[in-house]
Amino acid sequence: MKYLTALLVVLLLIPVASAQVLRVEMSPQTLLPNDVADCKLLVSFPQRTYVGGITFYHPPSIDVEPESVSGVGWVQSYELPFTIRAKESGVFVVDVVINTPNGSIKQAFTVRVLREMPEIILDRTTFYLNEVNGVGFTISTPLDISDVVVVPLFDANPKVIRVENMKGFFEFLPKRPIPLKFKIEFYNGKNYHEVVRTVVVKYEKSRGVLVNATPEYSNVLMGDVVRIDVQVSNLRHDTIFNVRLNVSGAKSVVIPMLKAGESRSFEFEWSANSAGEKLIKVDVSFLDDFNDRYQDRTFVRVNVSNETALIFSGVNVERTINGITVSGDVCNNGRSKVYNVIVYANGRSYYIGTVDPSDFDSFEITLHNATTIHLKAVWTNEVGKTFEISKELKVPILKFKEEEKGGVLPMVVAIGTLAFVIFIAFLAWRRR
């Protein structure tokens, strides 16, 4: 009897075994419906303890595999791998019961199953038609997802975006207003998912590229050079490239790049070969970031008078016993310089050179016998174009005959008479 009492005292002194550490690790920690989580149950005892079995008690909305194990044996620390499969969304509690000779150890852990899929949030929601729009975005989700890929379901660059740190960037050129659809592909743990998200955005009309062309003068002379000021402004919200400005009849200009809101100004020189109202074409072309080319055209109106910039003035033809002399002035009535001015008369030339605006220079050419003189002036303007003017002149032949009849013969008679009188007077004086 006393031995039985001693045994009861010893049994009463043995404490019920308790786990020093009991925790559950889940990957991923938050699930979506039909996801599978890889889990571990970690148990640690202060001393070696006999574990008869471990059982998981769970609601029907999730599955645990295995639900129980038996005959674990003597352990001080123990690791049990298991899996959880979520059937539907919600927050669920799983109870773990560890059976030992000294009693059961109970522990509970929570399984969270969400229905919310990732969202895509654009940095901007207003876009411009017929422009390259650059867009940044952020992936928003309560899940710890990985290997995220965004596929724009419209024409964009790049076509597949690999997301880093939940952020990405793409460009697109909308031709018409459309909602933006994206397919988001990702992994939640080892579970693959994809979802399509639609973002409703606003579109505005592009302001395009503005070309403003203004002539220095609206009324000019033929052959005169007028300067046309051209300003090109990029009113778009993107950068454009290889901007080419061309004024008809003038040299073209190429701008490698024009940023959004940037303007450049140029001066073109233009001249007309004929009179009348002229519509000068000013063309602009450029490339966007997608290498698409755009073209536009505007016009400048200039009236060209039926008069050349260089004219003859004060032309005189004189015939003498030594030949025929043609003289006069060439006047520059234009607003630009003229160069290499040469005056021709029946094949003979007189070089003048440069004549400034509103200035003149004189010429004189001596010819041999002629009845008609073809007078011509040739010059080059400031843009290298060559012009000429001409006129026909008649030689006043009658003036030469009058000198021959009424001028030379009477003079000879008078001189002879005077010499005869002097000779008679000299003889009379000698006789005295």
Q: Considering the chain, what is the average pLDDT of its residues?
A: 88
Amino acid at 275: A
Amino acid at 346: N
Q: Which two tokens stand for residue 396?
A: 């006043």
- In the chain the first and final C-alpha atoms are separated, in Å, by 219
| pLDDT of amino acid 420 | 63
pLDDT digits (tens, 9 = 90+) for 374-414: 999 999 999 999 999 999 999 886 444 444 444 455 555 45
pTM, entire model:
0.70
Give the other-Cβ count within 10 Å of 376's Cβ.
15
Residue pointed to by tokens 């009693």: 103
| pLDDT of amino acid 8 | 31
Do residues 272 and 349 make contact, with C-beta atoms less than 8 angstroms apart?
Answer: no
pLDDT digits (tens, 9 = 90+) for 280-290: 999 999 999 99
Q: What is the 3-state secondary structure (H, E, C) of the chain?
A: CHHHHHHHHHHHHCCCCCCCEEEEEEECCEECCCCEEEEEEEEEEEEEEEEEEEEEECCCCEEEECCEEEEEEEEEEEEEEEEEEECCCEEEEEEEEEEECCEEEEEEEEEEECCCCCEEEECCCEEECCCCEEEEEEEECCCCCEEEEEEECCCEECCCEECECCEEEEEECCCCCCCEEEEEEEEECCEEEEEEEEECCEEECCCCEEEEEEECCCEEEECCEEEEEEEEEECCCCCEEEEEEEECCCCCEEEEEECCCCEEEEEEEEECCCCEEEEEEEEEEEECCCCCEEEEEEEEEEEEEEEECEEEEEEEEEEECCEEEEEEEEEECCCCCEEEEEEEECCEEEEEEEECCCEEEEEEEEECCCCEEEEEEEEECCCCCEEEEEEEEECCHHHHHHHHHHHHHHHHHHHHHHHHHHHHHHHHHHHC
pLDDT digits (tens, 9 = 90+) for 102-113: 889 999 999 999
| pLDDT of amino acid 21 | 65
Backbone angles phi, psi at 64, to 5 degrees: -120, 130
Cα–Cα separations (whole angstroms), residue 274 to 230, 280, 293, 304, 425: 23, 13, 34, 7, 77
| pLDDT of amino acid 421 | 57
Do residues 220 and 302 make contact, with C-beta atoms less than 8 angstroms apart?
Answer: yes
Which residue ranges in the chain fall short of pLDDT 50? 1-17, 398-407, 413
